[in-house]
Structure 1
Amino acid sequence: MSTLFTPLTLGSTTISNRLGMSALTRSRSSKTVPNDIMLKYYVQRATGGAGLIVTEGVLITRQGSEWPEAPGIWEKSQIDGWKKITDGVHNAGSKIYAQLWHLGRIAHPDAPEQIAAGVPVYAPSAISARGGKFRFLPGAPGYVKPTKIEDPTVLIAQFKEAAINAKAAGFDGVELHGATGYLVHQFLDSASNQRTDKWGGSPENRARFALETLKALVEVFGPNVAVKLSPASGYNDVGMPLQDTIDTFGHLLREADKLGLAYVTFMRYVPYLDPVFDGKKRGTQHDVLSTFSPFLTKTPIFVNAGITPAEAEELVSSGKVAGVFNGVGWLTHPDFGTRIKAGKPLDNALDFATLYGAEGVDPALGYTDYKEAVY
């Protein structure tokens, strides 16, 4: 693993190795405010060898999430909570980006935070996603028809304000969540975005929201801005024919490559995250890395979804990627990076029952109680 554990400069930040921790929703905040158990969780992983940590999705404004304890970054108490975490991660020798997240149509109007926001569920078009299950609401309802956002620049301004708050909280950078069927992906996708103005229609117009949002984030964080994309994903009822996928994401990447981003993360096709509708998978299965890498000539590439340590070493040493992100490995092994470097087995099993916590259950269960290896 000699190449995997070499330093890498991303933007103005140098990370100690090429092994990053990807965003993992865990639903452990105090309502929307980061807390001490989250601090422990992130510091455990920073101490355990993560070169770069990307936070769980951080909501940029009040939204009716399927995870009612997802953290936000729109008010001072949240900024203060995140500042403790960024300080802890830095003291442990790692770097940390905030993943900025807007749900778009994957929110529910009856969720407490959406009610508190006093606004509708917004999306590029008034088209409901299929599926969904809000288990904390009576009857576990699915997704609903959203309200079309008339002026998308309002949402771009919210992303920029979130980046300003992230900088105040001490983050090293921000990653725009452009994957798995959330707001940015909804603008990109021809099924969820059926607008006829400059924000919809052609691949260039559908990519406009992502590009304008990235530009706004760069105004705040300079070169320390990244984006995560999942062109093959069918999660949350997105997915286009292959040529439309290539045309849309290809344009996005060509233009994003001009912005001096820290990195782009490609999420590979994940079968268990691809729902079945009308008897067939929703996503567009293809080799995301080989298809879209040629569109980036200057921007470092990361890849995630099911990357084994051996594959990570091969991908980095061959120059196909600058680094890799892992999710479940870090979730179940707080010392994931240290284990790999020391050749220790990855032998902690994932407990799905405690993945997102539960009311009345100790939040440490399945969160900060996974065992470290003996060295």
Structure 2
Amino acid sequence: MGILSNTVSFLHYQVVGELPSGDPGEWAAPLLAKNAFVPIDNSNEEVSTGWVGLDDAQDATFADRRDFFRPPFLTFALRRDQRRVPAALLRRHLERAEEEFLAAHPGLQRVPKDKREELRESVKGMLLARALPVPSLYDAVWDLERGLLTFTGTNSRIAEIFEAQFRQTFDGLRLVALHPFARAQAVVPDELRDALSRENKAGTDAVLEQIQENTWLGADFLRWLLALTVSGRSTFRVRREGPAVAGETFIAFLDQRLQLAAGPQRITVAGPQDHYAEARLAVESGKEIAEATIFLEKGEDAWKTTLKAEQFVFRSFKAPGVKPEKDAITDEKSELEAVFYERMQVLAAGLQLFDSLLAEFLGERLAADWPRRAQELQEMLDLEEKQ
């Protein structure tokens, strides 16, 4: 689902490097157009990848700046069309081609290896020419002021393709995944920055090492929130900048789905939770919470997302609905812009609450009395305490 859908999965990147000077709409247009998507409907090409407009997957011209520059955002989508030949179909046609070759060469008992490869490529090309390309779309919204890019392709392979396409398009700029430790650095109170640095288990700034060596952060965060949920503590305060006013209260808790892991072994607890007995028992046996559904509520508005603890990928992020307000004098582009900005507002509000929750956790996790607090949290999760 796209960024404008009520429910969307996404990850965040920090854009590193110096932006070109001048009007973003002026310098971005030729760069996006140069690397735009090229259709392969009338060819036998297997795959094509490039940029298209956020609102129209058929438009790859980037001629109208209102389609891709909505200050302070640059918006575009990665379109990847690919033809696929089912393995069983390829095998069946290849067998037929080999039979025909052997019939034409009665002195041969089997098809030579190099000829078989030649036949395979020929058959595959013939089948690809008959197959219709299947399109895939992944939205990108780049906040130029914050240097933050939201991308809806959460699959690791698609993320790699997107990163390569971005580097090719925007020379001199690079994307750095906003992994849990980087997000913690962005939200931690100033007085706790040194304490957070001391907790960094990675030896370098390499993203993969930062993720692999700091898995404690996501695991401890979800364990902390589970303990507070079990104990009935669900009210928190807004601590980060954004649409909500600092100091306002909101509700946060875990429910519906938790995945717990110990090495390769994983169990999933699904459905509305009562006393979270199964999840607490798994935690008590040494399993960590690898993934959980977080609910966020403020006033009449509600958000929920399934968070992957290791990488902070937001899956199925559901936000309050956005409905276009149509009238006789508003043109279509203005309506699209209005929906886009309202959607960005509700997403920003939900992420503001999440970051506030993370900041509150870090305030406890990095405090000098954390060992005592950790013991309190463990007691909250102790099943015997509820019997």
TM-score (norm 2): 0.23
Higher strand share: 2
Answer with 1 or 2: which has the greater Rg.
Answer: 2
Higher helix share: 2
